[in-house]
Amino acid sequence: MRNPPVRRNRSYLSRLACLTASVALLATGAAVPATGAAAALREVMFVGNNWEGTADVIQSRGSFARIGRVNIIPDKDQRLTEIYLNPIKLAFFLGIRNGPGEGHDQFVDDMYTTPDGGSVVASRPSFADVVSINLTTGRINWRFPVSGFRSDHMAVSPDGRRVAVSASTSNTVHVLDIVTGQQLGSFATGDKPHENVFTDGGRYLWNMSIGNVDTDLDDPGWDFTKGDRHITVVDTATFQQVKVIDMRQRLDAFGRSDLSDAVRPVAFTPDESKLYFQVSFFNGFVEYDVATDKITRIKELPKNPATSDDRKTFVNDSRHHGLSMNPAGTKLCVAGTMDDYATVVDRASLQQGTLVPAVKPYWATVSGDGKACVISEAGADQVTAIDFATGQKLVSVPVGDHPQRVRIGHVPDGWTGPTGS
């Protein structure tokens, strides 16, 4: 099949603040300004504290100081009662705790704000759902149970109105109206759908499946047990499959049959002509040319001598997990999860910069001004900003228990946290 057309991808974040908020405000229960004008918004970052069930809201640039905190599981008692009364749900709940949760419940994975900045929408793996939480009251606006027994990574369309969520045990991606929570469509994926990315102004949606990451059959000889792993590209108007990309074939053609084809975090160039991605067990990343449908370069990054090469010790099969690109498309920021560092890599030369020490860095994103890479240090309960220009650490800010996903969002100007629950 022909590759999806390549167009320049413009971030939805630059347009959120100018969207009219009245309809969304009504849906979240907040008051609509009498003049009908959109409320003033402030750009922030949401940090999901997975094991704690909270999201810290921090400044999106500068000091990255904390502004407020949101409880993502205000209905915890109700959800736990439902789970403990259902043997099948309980089995999966405990499986998540003892598998990908590393002995902990996974209460918040991914999160995005609504266009009006009035609510945050979050996926909750252990509760197998997506919820919208009113940022004024702290109450749940709507809840969408995903198919199967675990929710995972999400993505928001460039216009900010649709949110896609991976249902990892049913091999499905649901696409929801971000304001109402109503399902707009869904599509089938490979085994264990993970990362989602909208491209071409929202015309296409890419999903990366990672296969089974919760077994100890990690030796390359047992790779066939990991399941069907591929990229699924769909048309967001019809949710029909446009293309399937099996990186196994591309990796083999490049001479790297030793690498896993489980695609983890990804980053597109600004013009979407190239895709950079991490794979299971590998300390580095891969460059893929979209137009030619070929892998063009692979970058191996340094190993930490203190890190065991025993694959069974890697968290959910990911030696490195976290990848972002500066707005100019000239620098990549890599989170070396098991190797306890992050580094900025020059995209043209693939030369890495300083290895910035970090404890279990689990995600990498870009600051609001585009000048810094922001990583979550899941093992140190903090986020750290690294300067794209110099590759040096700028600041670390304490957050909650086991931070993972970090996303740019918006809140009402002057907001410091929900006033009630």
> Angle at Cα 391 formed by Cα 387 and Cα 393, nearest 5°?
60
Per-residue pLDDT, 20: 35
**Is residue 333 one of the residues assigned to a domain?**
no
Which residue type, as a one-letter code, is found at position 261?
D
Report CA 135 to chain centroid distance, whole Å.
21
Q: Which domain holds residue 117?
A: 13-278+291-296+405-412
DSSP 344-401: EEETTT--B---EE-SSEEEEEE-TTSSEEEEEETTTTEEEEEETTT--EEEEEE-SS
**Is residue 148 one of the residues assigned to a domain?**
yes
DSSP 195-232: EEEEEGGGTEEEEEE----SSS--SGGGGGGG----EE
Per-residue pLDDT, 378: 97
**Is residue 20 one of the residues assigned to a domain?**
yes
Tell me, yes or no, if the pTM score tops 0.85: yes
**Is residue 228 one of the residues assigned to a domain?**
yes
Could you give the number of structural domains in the chain? 1
Element (DSSP H or E) covering residue 13: helix 13-16
Q: pLDDT tens digits for the chain (421 residues)?
A: 444 444 334 343 334 334 333 333 333 343 333 334 567 999 999 999 999 999 999 999 999 999 999 999 999 999 999 999 999 999 999 999 988 888 999 999 999 999 999 999 999 999 999 999 999 999 999 999 999 999 999 999 999 999 999 999 999 999 999 999 999 999 999 999 999 999 999 999 999 999 988 888 778 888 888 899 999 999 999 999 999 999 999 999 999 999 999 999 999 999 999 999 999 999 999 999 999 999 999 999 999 999 999 988 898 889 999 999 999 999 999 999 999 999 999 999 999 999 999 999 999 999 999 999 999 999 999 999 999 999 999 999 999 999 999 999 999 999 999 986 4
CATH number of 98's domain: 2.40.128.630
**Is residue 391 one of the residues assigned to a domain?**
no
**Is residue 213 one of the residues assigned to a domain?**
yes
**Is residue 246 one of the residues assigned to a domain?**
yes
| 3-class secondary structure per residue, 75-144 | CHHHHHHHHHCCHHHHHHHHHHHHCCCCCCCCCCCCEEECCCCCEEEEEEHHHCEEEEEECCCCCEEEEE
Per-residue pLDDT, 223: 85
**Is residue 211 one of the residues assigned to a domain?**
yes
Distance CA 198, CA 13 (A): 13
